Structure 1
């Protein structure tokens, strides 16, 4: 899923309580500042007038977010500045909801804690504490976090899933109430990092209990046996059959303009046989509508770097808590990525795909099967094979995910010194170089193509042909996604192409392969896997980007950005007397009114747009809407909004000015 901000015109919510820590909160949470708009603590005055004015501005912005924008210390992604009962996470939200998915609640919490560490001002700590207490309430009993939480209770949340969520045509994660927690988009990982920091800051036992639950969740969710051992699913605990609540695909679309999808039709050099493939030739993919491998939430997930985020959190606990027992699950996760890599030798006789080619393949898909499974074609597929995910994510290898995983394996080699982690990467890069898109498949080469990346997002197993998603209809009730080999008119909301250059990773691989045994030993000596006791975490987590693997080495320091007095003054001026940084609304959604119609629609106006008809609650930009009524003649009004991302970025820039940290890369890691 995308970590993006957007705004919508929200219908009247069922809950009318105002947002924020102000007087409309029915029960102020423990740790809430006593008087809205005023600091609970007066810190010492900085002798430097400009630094003092900067700190005052930081405090005003933080108190305003805490008391007037948040709900009990919890945050979504954006709010209408003129009416903060209109608010949005990745979709429209009720006023009592918060988003645990970054850049929501845990991202703001980390930022507030960063401000406290930079200034020592207890106002920032109290705001961060209030956020952490809200997150404890939002924590799933299993120990993880869902994308969203509703303080009004599960009945309210279920109502949201059944209305707003269920009608977001392209946002399939929100079309089902799972009742569990997710690793997607670093939702649980970033929340867990923040809880670790809150506990370590003052050793508050309330946060220790929540942290222990979070660690337990990560360990419990990890697959324990087979080729999937060490990997993580997208969601946990498993919710069986949740994705069956989606409307069944209306396949195939019939009528003028859709003849190319009828059984028996020619599609390039493939004959369309319908969604079940060719009965006499099991494993054929061809054109398909739906989820080829069923519910994808229990597969080993590489999408959005689930593996890397969980490993990073466990390593932070290893040296933050001195908990060396967490090293074993870290190594198991690293081994899973190495073990589960897919390889095809280029011999068609060894493939189940009747259209297999002679080009060898080596890489990873967005997700891989965690156990043996019978797919939608009725074919038994073995654990470890690349799997399809959402209904617009076909089964295959992903060049961009493979580059990401290769970079992860570089880290794993640096962590352990084990050369096996980089031994096969040359094959991966060789494969990626064989499947770049042709010029006539990309935007500029074909007037109907919107593909701008170097490679298709998904490449078919063994045939090495790119597979592209498409959709027809106007909403989730009369439309569906399907896959084929046509690069034209792909959905704009899902990048069917991505960049996957091998030049930089090849150079990194050559450098690592050239290291001597002595150099590897020095590198591993400073690895977080060799920590035997506690040592401090990086000072800042939200300033100048996220904490990443290079920051975890013994002699590394995560630094801040360089900010000038002029840049700082501009941020203070922009804050003004309103106490928030406003931005112009850029993305919108339709309000939920009712489920969309199921009557077939033969037009193609919605194929490459972010949003469907007016019943689709998915987000869209002004230039991402269909060229039909009522969109064509009614552009949405642009309002001023408050965004959590803007707050985090701007507060981080002020921190960088008043309390900068010089970045240092551990020499052994850098080598």
Structure 2
């Protein structure tokens, strides 16, 4: 199950930590800044020179760097686009450059951008992996003509969106003077806008021109959606699943901020208009993962039934507030009180929300697995462990955000102070070894990409690297 994507400005506001930590005195902060600069340099030098292949990255590495994993084991010619892969590391390099103006970090940014350009598809976006071996098993139809296979630009879990968001910021850092990066970024953005349906929704995947159904409000199907209405190419449908809308919104806001073109803000508004249309009627005024062109909740994968989703509904509520903050338009807040009240009364006995609630009955809905077959059930005692069937309830936090969101419109969000970050920075530096590595040890559970290492086995993580580099960079930039 993807991590709840609260990466937008709204949620960052709620999560800022106040007060002074270790080293809050100015003298101690100066010493910590010096350590942070040295640690940043050591960590980036290691990851850039020892870990990167073709300028890109995967999710996890063995300590000796002989084994690499994205979604499955990867060759040295394969890099991952889906977060926390190549563009995630690139965004960390960008944070380091912005904090220090060190040209070495800008060179690292350019290397990542050029790696992504290699794997841009003819359809304008990216798939989850780039294979630099023209005969490799994971090649796709790249614009450079060096790969065969599918031409599916994917919005699943932020693949294309994060690549674009990194590239447009790299384009800006390079003063829009790297012609290939600039051209590829604008082409990707144009392709993303072309993939938006008339109602404002986006598909999970596109490879070319899409159908143009007329917008309509969401409604319940007249057929039994538990057994009927499956669509083989569900990835063409209106999609909220796997953070599609949140990552798209981040990208559109970033594009508007960098290029100052209204078409990106207009697309964000249209996305918000779709989210309003997609709210199901009472007594279940929340959202599904995917919708048919008739705006009925739709099947996706075999274990993803048409239903109200506790996870995606919370995500949509936060996103609508974010769109309000970007536009000041009240209509984006109007669906939220009813949705929050619904989620509150749908809370499970343990305080969490079910991933799925059955249409009409509102009973929590789960799946059991027998071999390759999945079966709907109301029981939660035999749940497959590869998916998140329950999710934390953030209703209280969302209510608090809604209560204050109007007062924050037009206001610049507060940045954390250096003093408030000092304790976290101290821990990050203490965790960095002499070679510039942040080593992690498996607890035997699944990692990103479904990798399961033996308990206690050491590995390197691109997610950990990117988070820690960003923490150090934020500290160096803070006052």
Mark yes or no: TM-score above 0.5: yes
Query: What SS class does the counterpart of residue 376 from structure 2 fall into?
Result: strand
The residue that corresponds to 1:655 in the other structure is 473
Displacement, 1:425? 2.6
Mapped pair 1:645 → 2:463: yes
> What is the correspondence of 1:300-449 to structure 2 with a 5 Å cutoff?
300-344=238-282, 360-369=283-292, 371=293, 383-437=294-348, 439=349
Where does the alignment leave 5 or more consecutive residues of structure 2 unmatched? 5-29, 141-148, 211-220
Larger Cα Rg: Structure 1 or Structure 2?
1
Q: Which residue of 2 is the match for residue 487 of structure 1?
A: 380
Q: Which residue number in structure 2 is paired with residue 505 of structure 1?
A: 398
How much does 1:55 deviate?
2.4
Q: Which has the higher contact order (CA 8 A, sep 6+)?
A: 2
TM-score normalised by length of structure 2: 0.81
Secondary structure, in 3 states, of the residue corresponding to 2:333?
helix
Q: 1:556 aligns with which of 396, 401, 413?
A: 413
RMSD over aligned Cα atoms: 3.1
Structure 2 residue 97 is matched with structure 1 residue 157: no
Residues 1:74 and 2:56 are matched in the alignment:
yes
Aligned to 1:231: 201
Q: State the distance in 2 between where 1:564 and 1:501 align.
A: 25
Secondary structure (helix, strand or coil) at the match of 1:297 reads helix
Once residues 490 and 565 of structure 1 are traced to their aligned partners in structure 2, the CA distance between those partners, rounded to angstroms, is 41
TM-score computed with the length of structure 1 as normaliser: 0.59
2:94 paired with 1:117 = no
Residue 213 of structure 1 deviates from its aligned partner by 1.6
2:120 to 125, 139, 143: 139
Deviation for aligned residue 1:620: 3.6
Residues 582-606 of structure 1: CA deviation (Å, up to 9, x unaligned)? 22134578xxxxxxxxxxxxxxxxx
Instruction: Name the SS of the counterpart of 2:163 in structure 1.
Output: helix
Q: Which residue of 1 aligns with 2:451?
A: 619
| C-alpha displacement of 1:216 | 1.2
Question: 1:71-220 maps to which residues of 2 (within 5 A)?
Answer: 71-82=53-64, 84-153=65-134, 155-157=136-138, 178-202=150-174, 203=176, 204-220=178-194
SS at structure 1 position matched to 2:256: helix
How far apart are 1:77 and its partner, in Å? 0.9
Alpha-carbon deviation of 1:563?
6.4
Partner in structure 2 of residue 57 of structure 1? 39
Distance 2:380 2:329 in 1: 41
Q: Aligned equivalents of 2:402 and 2:43: distance in 1? A: 45
Change in CA separation of 1:215 and 1:559 when aligned onto 2, cut-off 3 Å: farther
Match of 1:2 in 2: 2
Unaligned runs of 5+ in 1: 5-47, 160-176, 241-280, 345-359, 372-382, 440-451, 474-478, 527-552, 590-609, 611-616, 622-635, 663-671
Q: 2:421, 2:320 → 1: CA distance?
A: 37
The answer to whether the aligner puts 1:457 opposite 2:355 as a matched pair is yes
Is the contact between residue 292 and residue 395 of structure 1 (CA under 8 Å) also seen in structure 2? Answer: no
Task: Give the helix-richer structure, 1 or 2.
Answer: 2
For 2:224 and 2:423, the matched residues in 1 are separated by: 62
